[in-house]
Amino acid sequence: ASKKIAKRLNITGPVNIQFVAKGTDVMCIECNVRASRSFPFVSKTMGVDYIEAATKAIVGADTSDMDLPTLETRDRPSGYVGVKAPMFSFTRLRGSDPVLGVEMSSTGEVACFGASTEEAFLKSLLSTGFKLPKKNILVSVQGDLQDEFTHSAYQLHELGYKLFATQATADRLEKNQVPCTVVSYPTDENSSLPSCTEMIKNEEFGLVINIPTHNSKRLEDNYQMRRNAVDYGIPLLTNMNLVKMFSDAVYKHRVEEKMVGLEPKTLFEHYEEETDSDAWTNKDEFH
């Protein structure tokens, strides 16, 4: 799609294109002729000076000697993975809803590298100030996303985390044989169940997972859970794909309540470990 758009608009040089996807429907929402902040990150990760390539393309210079990857070539690099994670300032925006939409809300980014997607993901997440949970996790997942969440919930349970869930989520987890403790919604003031609000305020949770949908009957409750998590400095996940990646990564790297395999390593150390067949540039060339 990007190639067709660039060709149709007769674009030569850097272009930033953004898509939004739902199911099998994909829509282009933005196309800007500019170099985005991803340019240096992708250049470093893939070992290609894309700024030089774009400049040559704009002035009509030859780029055939740059060994540029295309959409049809194999994935590069093959020996390591780069992940760029966003940073947010919701703690400074009193009352704002810390949930993401189409518009960019991040106020910073951090890039990390690892031998696998899971390792690079965890490193980047930790580098944003995200603290991995030690024991208790609060979960509240809406509607048809509950079944999709079951596998992640089971992984977290197997790792020794104790799950606390709001009523509808708890019913679905118990139906799928994932143990959990039911807690009340923030607005259920007269409930005999443990109050999730008080537990958040008392810092009894190490992580809050709240996956909202627009047709939820508990919009205010979901907002209060997310906002309380931010206000009391508790890590918050609000995206199902992110939750899946998180549970897979922690499941792979957590052993007996300790994280293993997250080796501090510079990008240049990854370069040095590349075999001749993996590397597409020499060690003394641009990376």
In this structure, are residues 222 and 215 in contact, taking their beta carbons and an 8 Å threshold? no
**Burial, 5: exposed, middle or buried (Cβ in 10 Å; 0-12, 13-18, 19+)?**
middle
Domains, the chain, ordered by start: 2-74 (no CATH), 82-259 (3.40.50.1380)
Question: Rounded to whole angstroms, how far apart are CA atoms 272 and 260?
Answer: 23
Question: Rounded to whole angstroms, how far apart are CA atoms 146 and 140?
Answer: 9
Question: Rounded to whole angstroms, how far apart are CA atoms 32 and 39?
Answer: 14
pTM assigned to the model:
0.85
Q: Report the range out of 108-112, 143-147, 176-180 with the highest average pLDDT.
A: 176-180
Cα distance between the two ends of the chain: 28
Q: How confident is the model at residue 281 (pLDDT cuts 50, 70, 90)?
A: low
Q: How confident is the model at residue 75 (pLDDT cuts 50, 70, 90)?
A: low
Compare 234 and 88 and report the one with higher pLDDT.
234
Question: Rounded to whole angstroms, how far apart are CA atoms 256 and 182?
Answer: 26
Question: Rounded to whole angstroms, how far apart are CA atoms 266 and 112?
Answer: 9
